[in-house]
Structure 1
């Protein structure tokens, strides 16, 4: 299915905003609705269905909206977003994180520490509803709850970012665009901002769980100093430079890092996959025969090539991969930061460490093993 043919949806922020509007309509205009139209920060209007409206008292209503992410692979798709709106005499809007909605515990995000993780985009949309419906001098208290929020938060980066207790209520446009690569990439950047605000001067980039475990268990690096990159290593290198990091360490499986050595910085298999070609080239530089090179070329993965590499005593390939990945990474960001590389096997065995990584490790007093 093409992206153009895929169905869009709406964000958790739109769900909460719709809940506020439906609740206020029930309280102020005594109207129970099954859908509302809300305005986003770009002045577009979004129609959101309402699953349930409960008037709890003359001043309090609770509204349930079922999150619809469209055809986007969203962990919150299909979950209930429950918004309780309470009228008061404050003249302003206050917010509360109900069950399953996180609270900010680290600086570096768009909201101060201690605030409910109801992001600026949704707050802007809620303010439009407030201005539209609430009489002058009256205020509202907005509590957003997500019954499945604590469980869903484990599938997000919230723990790394310092958002504790549940998910974030998010959305800069209120609309979910299916399969948005730019949106996913941008969702990774706050990890770096939080890291910088925490005082770290070296950024650790980990494409996945393998690199994270090595950094934590073998090198003694705090989880707070790591940022996941997914396949967007080049993008995250650029963001590290933009945010001001001068030292960067990339830790990951050779199957991912070898792509950097060949100059590919978007590492999804559809975008780049010259793993075996690179291994064969380095094997030849290590003195491998044509027969061995052909045997390596027939391997489908880097792990499958390892027994051949060991049998033929070609382990120098690993150091070449680490050294070249470091060189190409620094070229990618125009030498604006030092980039060290550590590569490993699937089981976390470290295969090679380049000189830049060793130097960074010495400066940070990490336990990087000396590789022969």
Structure 2
């Protein structure tokens, strides 16, 4: 257990360690047992972050020419699906001095291009591979070699709760981590996971995508249009970041589909849409309804609305429905500005209560293209 903390949104959150650190620690422990023929209670490893970890070993076994042990994953206070999983390493001698690392049961296999691991290989990322080799080499020296199998008995069951199915990683979890340490509620880790979907889509030959902030947008696309799932990519609150990634991967066209409560912020130039970063929904709606000639009292009622749904009802009662296509077009314009007009962009906005509110002209063209 790591006794280090970070404060986020007023809460004290504990750091954890990655599946990559677990695999490296289990492999070091296995190497020690292989060398001595005796069980080991704990091991100490270094991480790329510069922190040392001392971790307890579980289920230690030693046989003729092999050893096996496990590490219990501790993600700290991060909402991690792999938290508590047992990650094992089985290590055995080779006749040469090479270190061969493979994935066994519960470690996924890569089936799509665009990931840092080649198609057909076990989903053990480059940094964890380096960590495993470093820790084992320190124990066995340069003259000996070993085969290492990383396996996770419950990995296949847990993998369905991760991004792996979307990324084409089948049969288990990934062994991940660039620092060896899990930073609780890390935006960077979340964004990196999201951007991998753009990379995979590009490798599949897709040059147009549908970006949805969340499940509501995904459900609307699924229920209203018969588009293939691999076109639809979730952005969460990081709309600007994902548009930047689309430019980087040379995506040509993006259709934004989202709840008005999220996408209206983009109309105001807000590309990180978490309410704790910026929440100008009512102010933006009030500004545009004022542009359409609403009275001071009407503008005030929009500003005082509790939710976006309530604001939409008020706008309909005012007979100001023309605001919705105006907002859809403005969202498109702001997104195109963000991408330096390198991507053709269209927008669909909706609410749960009122359904689709507007589709900008570019959005209508893209809808037809996706239908084709």
Q: How high is the TM-score relative to the length of structure 1?
A: 0.90
4+ runs deviating over 6 angstroms: none
**CA separation in 2, counterparts of 1:358 and 1:263?**
22
> Would the aligned equivalents of 1:14 and 1:48 in 2 still touch at CA under 8 Å?
no
> Would the aligned equivalents of 2:33 and 2:62 in 1 still touch at CA under 8 Å?
no
Shift of 1:137: 6.2
What's the counterpart of residue 26 of structure 1? 33
**CA separation in 2, counterparts of 1:359 and 1:61?**
61
Shift of 1:136: 5.4
User: Deviations along 1:104-143, whole A, 9 cap, x unmatched?
Assistant: 1111101111111111111011111232233656443332
Shift of 1:63: 1.2
Change (3 A) 1:281 1:45: closer
**CA separation in 1, counterparts of 2:85 and 2:169?**
19
Q: Does 1:55 align with 2:61?
A: yes
Q: How many residues align?
A: 365
Residues 1-372 of structure 1: matches in 2 within 5 Å? Answer: 2-3=7-8, 6-41=13-48, 44=50, 46-89=52-95, 91-134=97-140, 138-346=144-352, 349-365=355-371
**CA separation in 1, counterparts of 2:146 and 2:354?**
52
Q: Which 10-residue stretch deviates more, 51-60 or 236-245?
A: 51-60
> Would the aligned equivalents of 1:16 and 1:83 in 2 still touch at CA under 8 Å?
yes
User: Does the residue aligned with 1:189 lie in a helix, a strand or coil?
Assistant: helix
Q: How high is the TM-score relative to the length of structure 2?
A: 0.90
> Would the aligned equivalents of 2:125 and 2:176 in 1 still touch at CA under 8 Å?
yes
Shift of 1:233: 0.6
Shift of 1:17: 0.7
Unaligned runs of 5+ in 1: 367-372
**CA separation in 2, counterparts of 1:121 and 1:282?**
49
Shift of 1:101: 2.0
User: Deviations along 1:215-235, whole A, 9 cap, x unmatched?
Assistant: 333222222122221111111
User: Deviations along 1:166-191, whole A, 9 cap, x unmatched?
Assistant: 21110112122233222222222111
> Would the aligned equivalents of 1:15 and 1:67 in 2 still touch at CA under 8 Å?
yes
CA RMSD of aligned residues (A): 2.3
Unaligned runs of 5+ in 2: 1-5
User: Does the residue aligned with 2:340 lie in a helix, a strand or coil?
Assistant: coil
> Would the aligned equivalents of 2:34 and 2:91 in 1 still touch at CA under 8 Å?
no
> Would the aligned equivalents of 1:286 and 1:317 in 2 still touch at CA under 8 Å?
yes
> Would the aligned equivalents of 1:35 and 1:47 in 2 still touch at CA under 8 Å?
no
User: Deviations along 1:23-82, whole A, 9 cap, x unmatched?
Assistant: 11111123432222224456x353231231422522232212111122333222222222
> Would the aligned equivalents of 1:210 and 1:252 in 2 still touch at CA under 8 Å?
yes
Shift of 1:282: 2.2
**CA separation in 2, counterparts of 1:17 and 1:202?**
39
> Would the aligned equivalents of 2:101 and 2:129 in 1 still touch at CA under 8 Å?
no
**CA separation in 2, counterparts of 1:346 and 1:98?**
44
> Would the aligned equivalents of 1:85 and 1:143 in 2 still touch at CA under 8 Å?
yes
**CA separation in 1, counterparts of 2:271 and 2:339?**
11
User: Does the residue aligned with 2:14 lie in a helix, a strand or coil?
Assistant: coil
**CA separation in 1, counterparts of 2:136 and 2:199?**
31
